[in-house]
Amino acid sequence: MFDTLFGRRAREIEMKQGNRLPPGQSLTDKFPVLHYGPVPNVDLATWTLRIFGAVEEEIVWTWEQFNKLPRTQVTLDLHCVTRWSKFDTPWEGVSLGQLVREGIVRPRPEARFVVQHCEYGYTTNTPIELVLQDNFLLATHYDGKPLTPEHGYPLRGLVGTFTDRSEPKSAYLWKGGKWLRALEFRVHDQPGFWERNGYHNEADPWKEQRFARGW
């Protein structure tokens, strides 16, 4: 027990010295489960992912069609607004940025934001430049295995930080929605569930943007 505790503290110091631990965060070796509402039951035979809004062409993919899209693997540091950080996490899925670069998804020039629509009406919003970066993933697998129901099976948005912090934007983990069902490209911003309930609209962990003003 003590060896584990001191080992975790030593790694936390290492991450802080390496400029990988944002202010106010603590390292965890676990993967806490946090979400609002129940875990949905999913039928992949009827599951779809919709791309709509300020796009040149609306798209609706079945699960089979979605899994034929180009796939990628990334390793990211995750930072939760509840003050835990988990490092070097391996993920697999589909890069929205790659889909746009390859012309599979075609946002209109005026698109400035993307709202993630999830099961039970949950939403979260991001600037379009964030979800088009390589540190945002439409994730289907974690650590070589399909997502568990508690972590968003079959598909979740995922935003993290590369070890070298090479992408200019990052966000706390809630900015990637579990149980993702649609991506809405928008001209104007539309705050999501937590954003409407007092959480910061930008959610940059390096600026410790946890809550809106007044909280």
Determine the distance from the C-alpha atom of residue 34 to the mean position of all C-alpha atoms in its chain, rounded to a whole number. 13
State the average pLDDT over residues 183-212.
Answer: 96
Let me know: does 174 contact 194? Beta carbons within 8 Å: yes
Whether 29 shows a pLDDT value over 80: the answer reads yes
The answer to whether the peptide bond before residue 40 is cis (omega within 30 degrees of 0) is no
State how beta strands 156-159 and 136-142 pair: antiparallel
Structural domains in the chain, CATH included, are: 44-207 (3.90.420.10)
Per residue in 31-71, pLDDT (tens digit) is: 989 887 899 999 999 999 999 999 999 999 999 999 999 99
Query: Which range is least confidently modeled, 33-37, 111-115, 169-173, 196-200?
Result: 33-37
State the average pLDDT over residues 129-153.
Answer: 97
Q: What angle do CA 141, 145, 150 make, to 5 degrees?
A: 70
Q: Give the residue from 213, 215, 204, 214 showing the smallest Cα distance to 81.
A: 204
Q: Which residues contact 112 (CB under 8 A, 6 or more apart)?
A: 127, 128, 186, 187, 188, 189
Q: What angle do CA 200, 116, 100 make, to 5 degrees?
A: 115
Q: Give the residue from 95, 135, 132 showing the smallest Cα distance to 111.
A: 132
pLDDT of residue 213: 66
State how beta strands 84-94 and 26-27 pair: parallel
Let me know: does 118 contact 179? Beta carbons within 8 Å: yes
pLDDT of residue 8: 82
Using a 10 angstrom Cβ sphere, with 0-12 exposed, 13-18 middle and 19 or more buried, the burial of residue 23 is exposed
pTM: 0.94
State the average pLDDT over residues 102-116.
Answer: 98
pLDDT of residue 35: 82
Whether 174 shows a pLDDT value over 60: the answer reads yes
